[in-house]
Amino acid sequence: MTRTSRLCLIATSAVLALTVAACSSTGGRKSTEEGGGGTSGAASTPRMTIALITHAAPGDTFWDLVRKGAEGAAQKDNVDLQYQADPDGANQANLVQSAIDKKVDGIAVTLAKPDALRAVVTKAVQSGIPVVALNGGIDDWKSMRVLGYFGQDEKIAGQAAGERLTRDGAKKALCVIQEQGHVGLEARCDGTKSTFPNTEKIYVTGTDMPSVQAAITAKLQQDKSIDRVLTLGAPFALTAVKAVQDASSSAKVVTFDTNKELVGAIKSGQVEWAVDQQPYLQGYLAIDSLWLYQTNGNTIGGGQATLTGPAFIDSSNVASVEKFAANGTR
């Protein structure tokens, strides 16, 4: 499959995904809740069960978008979607094992902590359950013999962020990592540093927003040369805006990933730009690809990752994204 063909396939799926999502409700849900995949699918194919297992932390709005995309595909495809999540790698592996024990028809899984997932994902494949990866694990999915990968190459995304910082005339960036051991987050900062060398990492506890705010504030007060705070998720960007104010700093906030509030912050000028990896599309394509495989033997990507990013959202295009963000799909 040519790159042009792959992009056309992604664009077609995205349009269909957003059409389905137009009737979806908005708002977050508990990440450990199962079900919710739509019980009256449009497809006439036999109903199948697919497990979506992610490393989402409770209340993370990014994962609400991934889940909505998965639910959109599940509704279209007559799929019983069973969604579970746990940020701990060992616990996530246990969730995959549970899906194997239930003999589901397919598994979509994030591989943010690949070493913890390798054995159980391999077991699923060997047991005859088709598996696809999404969002995390772009360097590891092939070795686990899964069918495909849907997401962005985090190193490439980081390099793009570093190039953008250079074009913007930035002097020094603080890259805020909210979860130690997450290969994708490390790759973002490392990629940024490769094209914008004056990048410094700081590790924070992402589950404790007051401590995140305090840590960024303290760093900005300590190092006045920092003129960009680069966060790796929309909620952390919004917290960084508060930290910049607390520190009386002139640093500008930029970020990876979006949600409805972050899109509003770009529109108002509180955040300069965001690197968008289209989380709705990741969830949609992961579920839809398993349905296509089970019903028609199709695979997507031609043995290569299907990239959903990176792209930039800034003042020049935020208006076109805003209407989709209002629907809870961007």
Q: What is the pTM of this model?
A: 0.82
For residues 286-299, give the mean pLDDT: 98
Long-range own/partner contacts, residues 142-146 (CB < 8 A, 24 or more apart): 142/303, 143/118, 144/111, 144/114, 144/117, 144/118, 146/121
Give the Cα separation of 49 and 66 in Å (integer): 18
> What is the distance of C-alpha 278 from the center of its chain?
7
Give the alpha-carbon dihedral of 185, 186, 188, 192, to 10 degrees: 150
Q: Which residue has the tokens 């570093």?
A: 162
Give tens-digit pLDDT for 151-201: 999 999 999 999 999 999 999 999 999 998 889 999 999 999 999 999 999
Question: Which of the residue ranges 26-40, 59-73, 127-141, 258-272 would you say has the lowest mean pLDDT?
Answer: 26-40
Give the Cα separation of 243 and 250 in Å (integer): 11
Give tens-digit pLDDT for 68-127: 999 999 999 999 999 999 999 999 999 999 999 999 999 999 999 999 999 999 999 999
pLDDT of residue 28: 39
pLDDT of residue 92: 98
Topology annotation, domain 154-276: Rossmann fold (3.40.50)
Fold equal for 3-152+278-299 and 154-276? yes
Domain-wise residue ranges, the chain: 3-152+278-299, 154-276
Whole-number average pLDDT of the chain: 89
DSSP string over 182-225:
-HHHHHHHHHHHHHSS-EEEEE--TT-HHHHHHHHHHHHHH-TT
User: 106-109 and 149-151: which strand pairing?
Assistant: unpaired
- Assess if CATH 3.40.50.2300 describes domain 3-152+278-299: yes
| Contact criterion met (CB below 8 Å) for 176 and 232 | yes
